[in-house]
């Protein structure tokens, strides 16, 4: 019989720069083992293909998870126009839009203005949204159409960084619950040419930015920030 595992007592916050091809759960599991701590939670899922700021809560810091999840976030994303995806990103089955023609930049700029503010957004079929206890992506993978409902979301700022057909690069400052994949899909639909997300980097969660993030390999107890660094109360 194995003796019970003795965990270290570490409480606080760890800001990780998540690499591509890691799930948020992969990062949580790795950090839990690397620091030898019992409780680790994250404050907002990043898809495997996404990179950037993933704020982890360690030990008693997990009490802050819910409040930190609600913080504003900032992203830089690449969108490919002229095609659509079953998952709204490059992971799905891609279907080209046969009559899609290059869209003038002025049209792009006008469409982007329509997304600034608060509006209802339909989550992707391949998302972790739950329907009667089942995650939407579990149903979608079985070929079933999840019965999702639109969710109220907010874009505080949306900036066009670059555009060369069919590639569009944006910077987005948004509120909680926002899906950048859905934005890519919806921009493509409004333009009538289709669109899907091809790259995503989260550059900020609340006041936690990339400049203060560390790699998974760099993570140790000395890198854990105190709970007061969250600047929110439990």
Write out pLDDT tens, residues 51-62.
999 999 999 999
73-204 folds as Pseudouridine synthase (3.30.2350)
Q: How many CB atoms lie within 10 A of CB 192?
A: 12
Question: Residue 45: which pLDDT band, with cuts at 50, 70 and 90?
Answer: confident
Q: Give the bridge partners for 78, in sequence order.
A: 169, 199
Q: Catalytic site residues? A: 47
Are 173 and 72 in contact, with CB atoms under 8 Å apart? yes
The pair of three-digit structure tokens given for residue 19, joined into one six-digit string: 């690499």
Specify the domain boundaries for CATH 3.30.2350.10 within the chain: 12-70+206-230, 73-204
pTM, 2 dp: 0.91
The pLDDT of residue 98: 75
Q: Which class in CATH covers the domain with range 12-70+206-230?
A: alpha beta
């Amino acid at each position: 019989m194995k003796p019970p595992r003795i965990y270290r007592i570490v409480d606080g916050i760890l800001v990780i720069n998540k690499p591509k091809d890691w799930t948020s759960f992969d990062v949580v599991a790795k950090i839990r083992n690397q620091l030898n701590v019992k409780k680790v939670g994250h404050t907002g899922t990043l898809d495997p293909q996404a990179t950037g700021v993933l704020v982890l809560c360690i030990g008693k810091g997990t009490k802050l998870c819910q409040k930190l999840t609600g913080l504003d976030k900032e992203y830089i994303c690449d969108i490919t126009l002229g095609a659509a995806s079953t998952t709204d990103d490059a992971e799905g089955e891609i279907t080209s839009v046969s009559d899609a023609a290059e869209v003038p930049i002025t049209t792009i700029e006008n469409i982007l203005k329509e997304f600034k503010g608060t509006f209802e957004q339909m989550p992707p079929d391949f998302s972790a949204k739950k329907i009667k206890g089942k995650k939407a992506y579990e149903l979608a993978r079985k070929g079933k159409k999840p019965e999702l409902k639109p969710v109220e979301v907010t874009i505080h700022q949306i900036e066009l960084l670059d555009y060369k057909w069919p590639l569009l690069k944006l910077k987005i400052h948004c509120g909680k619950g926002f899906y950048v994949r859905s934005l890519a899909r919806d921009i493509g639909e409004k333009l009538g040419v289709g669109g899907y997300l091809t790259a995503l980097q989260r550059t900020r969660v609340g006041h936690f930015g990339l400049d203060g993030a560390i790699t998974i390999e760099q993570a140790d107890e000395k890198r854990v920030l105190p709970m007061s660094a969250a600047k929110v109360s439990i």
